[in-house]
Chain A
Amino acid sequence: MIYRFTCIVCPLGCAVEVKVEDGRVVGVTGHTCPRGEEWAVQEVTNPKRVVMSVVPVEGGALPTVSVKTAEPVPKEKIPELMRFLAKLKLRAPVEVGEVVAEWNGIKIVATRGA
């Protein structure tokens, strides 16, 4: 199985190819730096993303507070995380940078104050 995609580590946007046999990475080509290689392998074996959303807040100037995960989350866990976030409700005051919840050991940080 060969995976082809554009590397997003930097603006160069290399076209990388990752060769996988029996669930193991056996070769990466097309990258021009070690960071790209590392990213490409992770992208195939365990892709992760920082996730953002908004959570309702009571008593703030705006009706929502925006949040993000403090670290990237495995891609296949994202729907579960979104369902968790959908149940959250906050109360003002909330500070930018405040940890407003935790999910499976991952901190959920407010990115807007209220």
Chain B
Amino acid sequence: MFPRIPMLNYDVVVIGGGPAGMAAAVRAKELGLKVLLLDENDHLGGILPQCIHPGFGLHYFREELTGPEFAARLARKMVELGVEYKTAARVLEIKNYSDLEKVVVFTSPSGAYGVWARAVIYAAGARERHAFEIGIVGDRVSGVYTAGEAQTLMDIYGIMPGREVVIVGSGDVGLIMARRFALEGAKVKAVIELMPYPGGLARNVIILRDFDIPLYLSHKVVEVRGRGRVERVKVVKVDENLNEIPGSEFWIEADTLIISAGLVPNVKKLTAIGVEIDPSTGGPVVNDRLETSVPGIFVAGNALLINDLVDYVAEQGELAAEGAREFIENGGIGSRKWVKVEKGENVRLLAPHYLSGDRDVYLYLRVARPMEDVELRIPEIGKKMKLPVVKPAEMLRVKLKAEEIRKAEKLTVEVVRV
């Protein structure tokens, strides 16, 4: 089928060498599978090597680590177990010939290859939303970066992207970048947040106080101006329906604009083979093995849904590997009486979407708006969990027991006031 390229042979190919992919490869190897991990970067770790702040691994390693330390631990496990991997290996295409016959095509410095595999674990992470996607207009100037680009420049290459900075988005990534700039002596002039509440975890919102950084809630950046380089950005207030309030606009002088407006699961290679996507997560629709709608294609980490904790990402990687083993051993996950999970009151997104009832599972979900003194309920099985606060920024994780799931025809998850 690919007469001109060398073909390799593995049980499972893992696409992506971030925490999801590394955890998946480690688990697959432990389960006795012949596994190959591919990543387009020169180094393993995905985005972790550039996340130099602490806050990683409290659940998974029971220790607070920085991103590079978390990555190094998983990479060491891979090496100890002898997991095969290739960096600088970019996957171009997945071909799905039949359930147990897949080919992953990649290019690398030594040429193009195809890999025959029986299952694929897709852990390609997410991409960042950029300035055009959030409707910023104006001059085509230098000095506009996504948060990840700025983080790569500073924390991998040691280059300061600018001196007077405006940050769009008060999620964790935006706040953490605000701290990095401030620590390195830049002036962070403002963090601009569209919503009426900050988007990040409480432990990160504290950064604003540490460095006296003004936070504008219910505001958005609409325009950027400058000759060659950013000189000023236009900010406007929005009402509760997020519509711009006429006459409320003002300009902030800055040489750098950092866009931290959220991540989107990177699913292009999956949609190309017809994997069904859930519009609310932006990632694939999956069952409780993290198998997509195409049999034998599993997904984990930010490619599945945007996670805020790397611990959950690694957990999903392991689960996908266990799914892949079952798939390969039994020639498929098999048809079951899948129980569908549905979103109820104040649930914006959730995964997995279908549960088998033959295993305990974690449901991952996010609420649509912040609330206090609430209960997470699944009325079909009478499950109730009290929560003092819920915020869209903090992903919730609920464990369901196999026997609870088996009782139900479908499950509805809701977050309601008590």
Contact = CB atoms under 8 A, between A and B. Distances in A.
B97 interface: no
Contacts of A111: 52, 65-66, 68-69
B53 interface: yes
A62 to B, nearest CB: 6
B155 A96 contact: no
Contacts of A62: 43, 49, 156-157
A82 B183 contact: yes
Interface in B113-129: none
Interface string B46-59: 00010011100000
A53 B184 contact: yes
A61 B43 contact: yes
A6 B202 contact: yes
A7 B185 CA distance: 26
A64 B158 contact: yes
A113 B202 CA distance: 30
Given A53-B183, A61-B43, A82-B185, A12 B388 contact: yes
Contacts of B201: 11
Nearest to A9: B203
A66 B202 contact: no
Contact of A5 (B68, B156, B209): B209
Interface string B179-217: 000011100000000000000011101100110000000
Interface in A50-76: 50-54, 56, 61-64, 66, 68, 75
Contact of A52 (B66, B158, B389): B66
B133 interface: no
Contacts of B371: none
Given A5-B209, A68-B54, A78 B183 contact: yes
A11 B66 contact: no
- Secondary structure type dominating chain A contacts: loop
Contacts of A113: 72
Contact of B52 (A49, A63, A66): A66
B210 A49 contact: yes
Contacts of A7: 202
A108 B276 CA distance: 48
Nearest to A65: B68
A31 B209 CA distance: 19
B42 A66 contact: no
Nearest to A83: B185
Interface string A9-41: 001110000000000000000000000000000
B394 interface: yes
Nearest to A78: B183
B66 A66 contact: yes
A96 B69 contact: yes
Contacts of B136: none
Contact of B72 (A52, A61, A78, A96): A96
Contacts of B78: none
A2 interface: no
Contacts of B388: 12
A52 B185 CA distance: 13
B155 A11 contact: no
**Residue from the set A5, A53, A97 with the largest chain B CB neighbour count within 10 Å:** A53
- The 6 A-B residue pairs whose C-beta atoms are closest, nearest first, are A13-B202, A112-B68, A8-B203, A66-B52, A64-B158, A111-B66
7 contacts: A8-B206, A52-B53, A53-B183, A53-B184, A62-B43, A82-B184, A112-B69
Given A5-B206, A6-B205, A11-B202, 11 more contacts: A6-B202, A8-B202, A52-B52, A53-B52, A53-B183, A61-B43, A62-B157, A63-B157, A64-B157, A82-B183, A112-B69
Interface of B: 42-43, 49, 52-54, 65-66, 68-69, 72, 154-158, 183-185, 201-203, 205-206, 209-210, 388-389, 394
Interface of A: 5-8, 11-13, 47, 49-54, 56, 61-64, 66, 68, 75, 78, 82, 96-97, 111-113
